[in-house]
Protein backbone atom coordinates (compact mmCIF):
# COMPACT_ATOMS: atom_id res chain seq x y z
CA UNK A 1 0.00 0.00 0.00
CA UNK A 2 3.04 2.26 -0.45
CA UNK A 3 2.64 5.48 -2.45
CA UNK A 4 -1.12 5.83 -2.00
CA UNK A 5 -0.54 9.53 -1.20
CA UNK A 6 0.81 10.19 -4.70
CA UNK A 7 -2.19 8.49 -6.32
CA UNK A 8 -4.68 10.40 -4.14
CA UNK A 9 -2.88 13.69 -4.84
CA UNK A 10 -2.92 13.13 -8.64
CA UNK A 11 -6.55 12.02 -8.61
CA UNK A 12 -7.68 14.98 -6.44
CA UNK A 13 -5.82 17.58 -8.50
CA UNK A 14 -7.40 16.30 -11.75
CA UNK A 15 -10.96 16.44 -10.44
CA UNK A 16 -10.58 19.70 -8.54
CA UNK A 17 -9.18 21.36 -11.69
CA UNK A 18 -11.93 19.95 -13.94
CA UNK A 19 -14.69 20.98 -11.50
CA UNK A 20 -13.24 24.50 -11.11
CA UNK A 21 -13.28 24.80 -14.92
CA UNK A 22 -16.90 23.55 -15.14
CA UNK A 23 -18.01 25.95 -12.35
CA UNK A 24 -16.24 28.83 -14.12
CA UNK A 25 -18.18 28.00 -17.31
CA UNK A 26 -21.39 27.80 -15.30
CA UNK A 27 -20.70 31.21 -13.71
CA UNK A 28 -20.05 32.72 -17.15
CA UNK A 29 -23.33 31.24 -18.41
CA UNK A 30 -25.26 32.84 -15.50
CA UNK A 31 -23.59 36.18 -16.19
CA UNK A 32 -24.59 35.97 -19.88
CA UNK A 33 -28.18 35.18 -18.90
CA UNK A 34 -28.25 38.28 -16.67
CA UNK A 35 -26.85 40.42 -19.51
CA UNK A 36 -29.47 39.03 -21.89
CA UNK A 37 -32.28 39.78 -19.40
CA UNK A 38 -31.08 43.37 -18.96
CA UNK A 39 -30.93 43.79 -22.76
CA UNK A 40 -34.50 42.50 -23.02
CA UNK A 41 -35.59 45.01 -20.37
CA UNK A 42 -33.80 47.83 -22.22
CA UNK A 43 -35.42 46.90 -25.55
CA UNK A 44 -38.87 46.90 -23.90
CA UNK A 45 -38.21 50.34 -22.42
CA UNK A 46 -37.07 51.94 -25.68
CA UNK B 1 -36.71 26.43 -31.72
CA UNK B 2 -36.77 22.83 -32.92
CA UNK B 3 -33.00 22.96 -33.52
CA UNK B 4 -32.42 24.39 -30.02
CA UNK B 5 -34.43 21.57 -28.49
CA UNK B 6 -32.55 19.01 -30.61
CA UNK B 7 -29.18 20.53 -29.59
CA UNK B 8 -30.17 20.42 -25.90
CA UNK B 9 -31.21 16.78 -26.29
CA UNK B 10 -27.88 15.88 -27.95
CA UNK B 11 -25.95 17.79 -25.25
CA UNK B 12 -27.86 16.08 -22.43
CA UNK B 13 -27.25 12.70 -24.08
CA UNK B 14 -23.52 13.43 -24.38
CA UNK B 15 -23.28 14.58 -20.75
CA UNK B 16 -25.13 11.44 -19.60
CA UNK B 17 -22.81 9.24 -21.65
CA UNK B 18 -19.74 11.06 -20.25
CA UNK B 19 -21.00 10.55 -16.69
CA UNK B 20 -21.61 6.80 -17.21
CA UNK B 21 -18.22 6.34 -18.93
CA UNK B 22 -16.44 8.22 -16.10
CA UNK B 23 -18.12 6.07 -13.41
CA UNK B 24 -17.12 2.92 -15.34
CA UNK B 25 -13.53 4.25 -15.66
CA UNK B 26 -13.27 4.93 -11.89
CA UNK B 27 -14.56 1.40 -11.15
CA UNK B 28 -12.00 -0.16 -13.49
CA UNK B 29 -9.10 1.93 -12.12
CA UNK B 30 -9.79 1.41 -8.42
CA UNK B 31 -11.55 -1.98 -8.25
CA UNK B 32 -11.04 -4.05 -11.39
CA UNK B 33 -7.48 -3.58 -12.64
CA UNK B 34 -4.74 -5.43 -10.66
CA UNK B 35 -1.90 -3.49 -9.03
CA UNK B 36 1.21 -3.43 -11.20
CA UNK B 37 4.06 -5.44 -9.63
CA UNK B 38 7.07 -3.11 -10.09
CA UNK B 39 5.58 0.34 -9.49
CA UNK B 40 2.74 -0.60 -7.18
CA UNK B 41 -0.36 1.48 -6.68
CA UNK B 42 1.14 4.68 -8.14
CA UNK B 43 1.04 3.05 -11.61
CA UNK B 44 -2.73 3.73 -11.60
CA UNK B 45 -1.92 7.39 -12.37
CA UNK B 46 -1.16 6.04 -15.87
CA UNK B 47 -4.93 5.56 -16.50
CA UNK B 48 -5.55 9.33 -16.12
CA UNK B 49 -2.23 10.56 -17.42
CA UNK B 50 -2.36 8.85 -20.84
CA UNK B 51 -6.02 9.74 -21.67
CA UNK B 52 -5.37 13.36 -20.66
CA UNK B 53 -2.31 13.49 -22.93
CA UNK B 54 -4.22 11.83 -25.78
CA UNK B 55 -7.04 14.36 -25.48
CA UNK B 56 -4.64 17.32 -25.21
CA UNK B 57 -3.20 16.18 -28.58
CA UNK B 58 -6.73 15.85 -29.97
CA UNK B 59 -7.59 19.35 -28.71
CA UNK B 60 -4.50 20.84 -30.39
CA UNK B 61 -5.27 18.94 -33.61
CA UNK B 62 -8.71 20.62 -33.57
CA UNK B 63 -6.97 24.01 -33.04
CA UNK B 64 -4.69 23.24 -36.00
CA UNK B 65 -7.55 22.32 -38.38
CA UNK B 66 -9.80 25.20 -37.25
CA UNK B 67 -6.91 27.70 -37.58
CA UNK B 68 -6.37 26.65 -41.20
CA UNK B 69 -10.12 26.90 -41.87
CA UNK B 70 -10.21 30.35 -40.23
CA UNK B 71 -7.32 31.70 -42.31
CA UNK B 72 -8.98 30.39 -45.48
CA UNK B 73 -12.53 31.59 -44.79
CA UNK B 74 -12.12 34.36 -42.11
CA UNK B 75 -15.26 32.91 -40.56
CA UNK B 76 -15.25 33.63 -36.79
CA UNK B 77 -16.94 30.29 -36.00
CA UNK B 78 -13.60 28.54 -36.70
CA UNK B 79 -11.75 31.00 -34.48
CA UNK B 80 -14.25 30.40 -31.66
CA UNK B 81 -13.91 26.63 -31.95
CA UNK B 82 -10.08 26.82 -32.08
CA UNK B 83 -9.96 29.11 -29.04
CA UNK B 84 -12.32 26.86 -27.05
CA UNK B 85 -10.30 23.77 -27.94
CA UNK B 86 -6.98 25.48 -27.07
CA UNK B 87 -8.33 26.38 -23.63
CA UNK B 88 -9.34 22.77 -22.87
CA UNK B 89 -6.08 21.47 -24.41
CA UNK B 90 -4.10 23.78 -22.11
CA UNK B 91 -6.07 22.58 -19.07
CA UNK B 92 -5.41 18.94 -20.01
CA UNK B 93 -1.70 19.60 -20.71
CA UNK B 94 -1.38 21.27 -17.27
CA UNK B 95 -2.89 18.12 -15.73
CA UNK B 96 -0.57 15.90 -17.80
CA UNK B 97 2.45 17.83 -16.48
CA UNK B 98 1.19 17.75 -12.87
CA UNK B 99 0.27 14.03 -12.88
CA UNK B 100 3.58 13.33 -14.64
CA UNK B 101 5.61 15.04 -11.91
CA UNK B 102 3.61 13.21 -9.21
CA UNK B 103 4.49 9.93 -10.98
CA UNK B 104 8.17 10.99 -11.37
CA UNK B 105 8.79 11.39 -7.64
CA UNK B 106 8.25 7.75 -6.56
CA UNK B 107 9.44 6.35 -9.92
CA UNK B 108 12.60 8.42 -10.57
CA UNK B 109 13.16 10.00 -7.16
CA UNK B 110 12.73 13.56 -8.47
CA UNK B 111 9.77 15.84 -9.21
CA UNK B 112 11.21 17.10 -12.49
CA UNK B 113 13.99 16.27 -14.92
CA UNK B 114 14.82 17.94 -18.25
CA UNK B 115 13.99 14.76 -20.12
CA UNK B 116 13.14 15.28 -23.88
CA UNK B 117 9.49 14.18 -23.47
CA UNK B 118 8.94 16.37 -20.39
CA UNK B 119 10.71 19.38 -21.90
CA UNK B 120 8.79 19.12 -25.20
CA UNK B 121 5.50 18.89 -23.23
CA UNK B 122 6.41 21.98 -21.21
CA UNK B 123 7.19 23.85 -24.48
CA UNK B 124 3.79 22.71 -25.80
CA UNK B 125 2.14 24.18 -22.68
CA UNK B 126 3.90 27.55 -23.24
CA UNK B 127 2.92 27.58 -26.95
CA UNK B 128 -0.80 27.27 -26.20
CA UNK B 129 -0.56 29.68 -23.27
CA UNK B 130 0.90 32.17 -25.78
CA UNK B 131 -1.94 31.33 -28.19
CA UNK B 132 -4.59 32.21 -25.57
CA UNK B 133 -2.75 35.34 -24.41
CA UNK B 134 -2.37 36.64 -27.99
CA UNK B 135 -6.04 35.91 -28.64
CA UNK B 136 -7.18 37.59 -25.41
CA UNK B 137 -5.04 40.73 -25.46
CA UNK B 138 -4.95 41.67 -29.16
CA UNK B 139 -6.22 45.22 -29.71
CA UNK B 140 -8.34 44.21 -32.70
CA UNK B 141 -10.57 41.11 -32.78
CA UNK B 142 -9.66 40.04 -36.35
CA UNK B 143 -5.95 40.72 -35.80
CA UNK B 144 -5.95 38.58 -32.62
CA UNK B 145 -7.76 35.78 -34.45
CA UNK B 146 -5.24 35.92 -37.32
CA UNK B 147 -2.12 35.91 -35.10
CA UNK B 148 -3.57 33.16 -32.88
CA UNK B 149 -4.37 31.03 -35.95
CA UNK B 150 -0.73 31.28 -37.08
CA UNK B 151 0.44 30.18 -33.59
CA UNK B 152 -2.19 27.37 -33.67
CA UNK B 153 -0.74 26.06 -36.95
CA UNK B 154 2.98 26.42 -36.17
CA UNK B 155 2.53 25.35 -32.53
CA UNK B 156 1.02 22.05 -33.61
CA UNK B 157 4.48 21.03 -34.92
CA UNK B 158 5.44 20.37 -31.29
CA UNK B 159 2.74 17.67 -30.91
CA UNK B 160 4.53 15.00 -33.03
CA UNK B 161 7.80 16.00 -31.31
CA UNK B 162 6.20 15.28 -27.91
CA UNK B 163 4.68 12.02 -29.19
CA UNK B 164 7.93 10.78 -30.81
CA UNK B 165 10.36 12.09 -28.17
CA UNK B 166 10.58 8.67 -26.50
CA UNK B 167 11.53 7.07 -29.84
CA UNK B 168 13.83 9.81 -31.19
CA UNK B 169 15.94 10.46 -28.06
CA UNK B 170 17.22 8.52 -25.07
CA UNK B 171 14.69 9.28 -22.40
CA UNK B 172 13.70 8.22 -18.90
CA UNK B 173 10.02 8.32 -19.84
CA UNK B 174 8.41 4.84 -20.15
CA UNK B 175 8.31 3.46 -23.71
CA UNK B 176 4.94 3.19 -25.54
CA UNK B 177 3.64 0.12 -23.64
CA UNK B 178 0.39 -0.05 -25.63
CA UNK B 179 2.16 -0.56 -28.95
CA UNK B 180 4.80 -2.88 -27.50
CA UNK B 181 2.19 -5.19 -25.96
CA UNK B 182 3.41 -4.42 -22.43
CA UNK B 183 -0.10 -4.26 -20.97
CA UNK B 184 -2.16 -7.20 -19.76
CA UNK B 185 -5.74 -7.62 -21.02
CA UNK B 186 -7.34 -5.97 -17.97
CA UNK B 187 -4.88 -3.05 -18.09
CA UNK B 188 -5.55 -2.49 -21.78
CA UNK B 189 -9.33 -2.62 -21.25
CA UNK B 190 -9.06 -0.08 -18.40
CA UNK B 191 -6.92 2.22 -20.53
CA UNK B 192 -9.35 2.02 -23.48
CA UNK B 193 -12.38 2.81 -21.27
CA UNK B 194 -10.47 5.73 -19.68
CA UNK B 195 -9.53 7.11 -23.12
CA UNK B 196 -13.19 6.89 -24.22
CA UNK B 197 -14.39 8.57 -20.98
CA UNK B 198 -11.90 11.45 -21.25
CA UNK B 199 -12.64 11.89 -24.97
CA UNK B 200 -16.35 12.25 -24.13
CA UNK B 201 -15.42 14.74 -21.39
CA UNK B 202 -13.34 16.72 -23.91
CA UNK B 203 -16.22 16.78 -26.41
CA UNK B 204 -18.73 17.88 -23.73
CA UNK B 205 -16.46 20.66 -22.51
CA UNK B 206 -15.72 21.76 -26.08
CA UNK B 207 -19.41 22.04 -26.98
CA UNK B 208 -20.18 23.92 -23.72
CA UNK B 209 -17.25 26.32 -24.12
CA UNK B 210 -17.96 26.96 -27.78
CA UNK B 211 -21.67 27.67 -27.25
CA UNK B 212 -20.74 30.10 -24.44
CA UNK B 213 -18.36 31.93 -26.78
CA UNK B 214 -21.04 32.05 -29.46
CA UNK B 215 -23.56 33.51 -26.97
CA UNK B 216 -20.99 36.07 -25.75
CA UNK B 217 -20.35 37.23 -29.35
CA UNK B 218 -24.07 37.47 -30.09
CA UNK B 219 -24.76 39.51 -26.94
CA UNK B 220 -21.85 41.81 -27.83
CA UNK B 221 -23.35 42.35 -31.30
CA UNK B 222 -26.80 42.96 -29.81
CA UNK B 223 -25.37 45.55 -27.38
CA UNK B 224 -23.59 47.34 -30.24
CA UNK B 225 -26.78 47.38 -32.31
CA UNK B 226 -28.83 48.79 -29.39
CA UNK B 227 -26.19 51.46 -28.62
CA UNK B 228 -26.18 52.56 -32.26
CA UNK B 229 -29.99 52.70 -32.32
CA UNK B 230 -30.25 54.81 -29.13
Domains in chain B, number: 1
- DSSP character for B36? B
Please list every residue in chain B whose beta carbon sits closer than 8 Å to the beta carbon of residue A42: 226
Taking phi first (over 0 means left), then psi (-120 to 50 degrees means alpha), and beta for anything else, what does residue B109 get?
A: left
pLDDT at B8: 79
Residues (pLDDT < 50) of chain B are 1
Q: Do A3 and B230 touch (CB under 8 A)?
A: no
Long-range pairs for B72-79: beta carbons < 8 A, 24 or more residues apart: B74/B142, B76/B145, B76/B217, B77/B214, B79/B145, B79/B148, B79/B149
Tally Cβ neighbours within 10 Å of residue A23: 10
Q: Do B40 and A2 touch (CB under 8 A)?
A: yes
pLDDT at B191: 95
pLDDT tens for each residue of chain A, 46 residues long: 578 899 999 999 999 999 999 999 999 989 988 988 888 888 777 6
pLDDT at B167: 83
pLDDT at B4: 58
pLDDT at B223: 84
Which three-class secondary structure state does DSSP give residue B40? strand
pLDDT at B93: 98
Q: Do B91 and A10 touch (CB under 8 A)?
A: no
Q: Note down the domain range covering B64.
A: 2-229
Question: The domain spanning residue B109 has which CATH number?
Answer: 1.20.120
| Chain B residue nearest residue A39, CA to CA | B223
pLDDT at B175: 66
Amino acid sequence: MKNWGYLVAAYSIIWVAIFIYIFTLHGRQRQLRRELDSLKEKSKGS
Amino acid sequence: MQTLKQNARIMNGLLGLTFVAMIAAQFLIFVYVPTERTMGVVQRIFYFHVPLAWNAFLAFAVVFVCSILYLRSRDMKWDRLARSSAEIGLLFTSLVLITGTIWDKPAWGTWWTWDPRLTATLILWFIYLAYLLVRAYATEESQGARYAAVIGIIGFLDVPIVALAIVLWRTQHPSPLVFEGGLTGSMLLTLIVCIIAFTLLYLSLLILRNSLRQDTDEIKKLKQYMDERN
